[in-house]
């Protein structure tokens, strides 16, 4: 991952792997399902709102991907 302001979170919900990509600098949230279908996109978020969203998805058991991790080694 090259952009240091992007955080990727993954979690299981209803037996499906969900992925959230949060860009702190641009204020963008994107949530994808297990088939990489975009199911939610929000723009114009500030840093406080991004942190609130992150705390909410942590409640679902989300794991944050390490920025230096190899691809597909997050489960």
Tell me the pLDDT of the chain (75 aa) as tens digits.
Answer: 456 789 999 999 888 999 999 999 999 999 999 999 999 999 999 999 999 999 999 988 899 987 766 555 544
Helix/strand/coil for 25: coil
CB 5 within 8 A of CB 24: yes
Query: Rounded to an integer, what distance in angstroms lies between the CA atom of residue 33 and that of residue 24?
Result: 21
Cα–Cα dist 19/31, whole Å: 6
């Amino acid at each position: 991952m090259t952009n240091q302001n992007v955080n990727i979170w993954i979690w299981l919900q209803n037996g499906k792997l969900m992925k959230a990509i949060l860009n702190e600098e641009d204020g963008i949230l994107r949530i994808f399902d297990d088939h990489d279908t975009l199911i939610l996109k929000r723009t114009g978020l500030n840093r406080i709102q991004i942190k609130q969203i992150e705390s909410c998805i942590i409640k679902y058991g989300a794991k944050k991907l390490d920025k230096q991790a190899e691809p597909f080694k997050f489960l």
